[in-house]
Amino acid sequence: MSDSIVTEVELDLPPNEAWEHIVDPAWLGDDGHICAVPGGEGEIVDDGPLHVVVVEEVERPDRFAFRWATFDEPPSRVEIDIIESDGGSRVVITETPLMPIALQQSSSARPEDGGNESCDPHHVNTDHKESSRGTVIDGRSRFVAGSISPHHDTSAEQRVIGIAA
């Protein structure tokens, strides 16, 4: 599965200083907490639904990745890459929905009790094959479809391809 929503944001802090803000879940939702260690759990409320979070990769200051799921949308994997750029940082966020089968294969990564402040890390299997494709437009989000080519005239199709806001 390689359909992703890619968002890019430019920050005027170098990766090392931007890092603290990126692992602080204050920007990810209206309320919540994340234990930013591999295997750490969290909960985030954003735009209504509660996201249950399992942290997968914490590589200060380059990369932060987690899975999250709500009860009424497909679970997904969020990868945040922080790239140094002109004294600041370019942050590339890639959200990729996970297929039900992928969930079954890595059930060990599922939180058992919804996460809490105990922040008790455990090993998480991060053996994923998902990859993102395409480039991003500065400060925009866009949908990167695997291999649907944008050459059809069907309006419904164009809605998917031309999703960049």
Q: Give the binding site for other proteins (CB under 8 A).
A: 1-3, 5, 7, 9, 11-13, 18, 21-22, 24, 26-30, 46-48, 71-74, 91, 93, 95, 97, 99-100, 139-143, 145-149, 152, 154, 156-157, 159-160, 163, 165
> Min. distance of Cβ 103 from other proteins in angstroms?
10
102 or 109: CB nearest other proteins = 102
State in angstroms the smallest separation of the CB of 52 from other proteins.
13
The CA distance from 12 to 89, in Å, is 6
Distance in angstroms (rounded) separating the CA atoms of residues 28 and 25:
5
Cα–Cα distances in angstroms (integers) from residue 65 to residues 48, 55, 122, 156, in the given order: 22, 6, 15, 32
In angstroms, give the least distance from the CB of 61 to other proteins.
Answer: 14
Nearer to other proteins, 48 or 87 (CB): 48
Picking from 82, 73, 87, the residue whose alpha carbon sits closest to that of residue 8 is 82
Query: What whole-number distance in Å separates Cα of residue 35 and Cα of residue 40?
Result: 5
Looking at beta carbons only, is 57 or 157 nearer to other proteins?
157
Please give the Cα distance from 92 to 83 (Å, whole number). 8
Structure tokens at 139: 């400060």
**Minimal distance, residue 46 CB to other proteins, in Å:** 7
At its nearest, how many Å lie between other proteins and the CB of residue 119?
Answer: 21
Collapsing DSSP to helix, strand or coil, 96 comes out as: strand
Q: Return the number of the residue (125 or 158) whose C-beta is nearest other proteins.
A: 158
